[in-house]
Amino acid sequence: MTKIENEKQYHWALNRVEEILPLVKDDTPLDDPYSIELDLLSGLVADYSDEHFSIGEPTLVDMLKLRMYEMGLNQIALSKLLGITPSRICEYLSGKKEPTLHHARIISSKLKIDPAIVLGV
């Protein structure tokens, strides 16, 4: 099997998938030419998208900033909520330092952030 090599091919395949999609219903036989083409092209499009447009995993900095936004907190308010000094929060937000295990537990539980993200694993 081949793969999509460039963005021009990707856009062609994506447009073709959109053309074929209305022609394939839930009850369309798997050996129908449109069904086969849709299956092949959608796989190729998905592979190219995963390789070239992947978002990646969020970092602790991303999650801290997101939670601050969601909760309407500034660095000082976040510091008070977590019981961590403002300077340490600043170091975490700038990526200069990583939290200790003790601080990671606090951040994870109080901000509802996945421990794997907090610990960077």
The superfamily in CATH containing domain 60-119 is lambda repressor-like DNA-binding domains (1.10.260.40)
Q: Which residues contact 41 (CB under 8 A, 6 or more apart)?
A: 13, 16, 17, 20
Interatomic CA distance for residues 94 and 58, integer angstroms: 15
Per-residue pLDDT tens digits for 94-114: 989 999 999 999 999 999 999
Query: pLDDT tier at 83 (50, 70, 90 boundaries)?
Result: very high
Q: Find the mean pLDDT for residues 37-66.
A: 91
Query: pLDDT tier at 1 (50, 70, 90 boundaries)?
Result: low
Domain ranges of the chain: 7-52, 60-119
Residue 71 backbone phi and psi in degrees, to 5: -95, 0
pTM: 0.58
How is residue 21 annotated by DSSP?
G
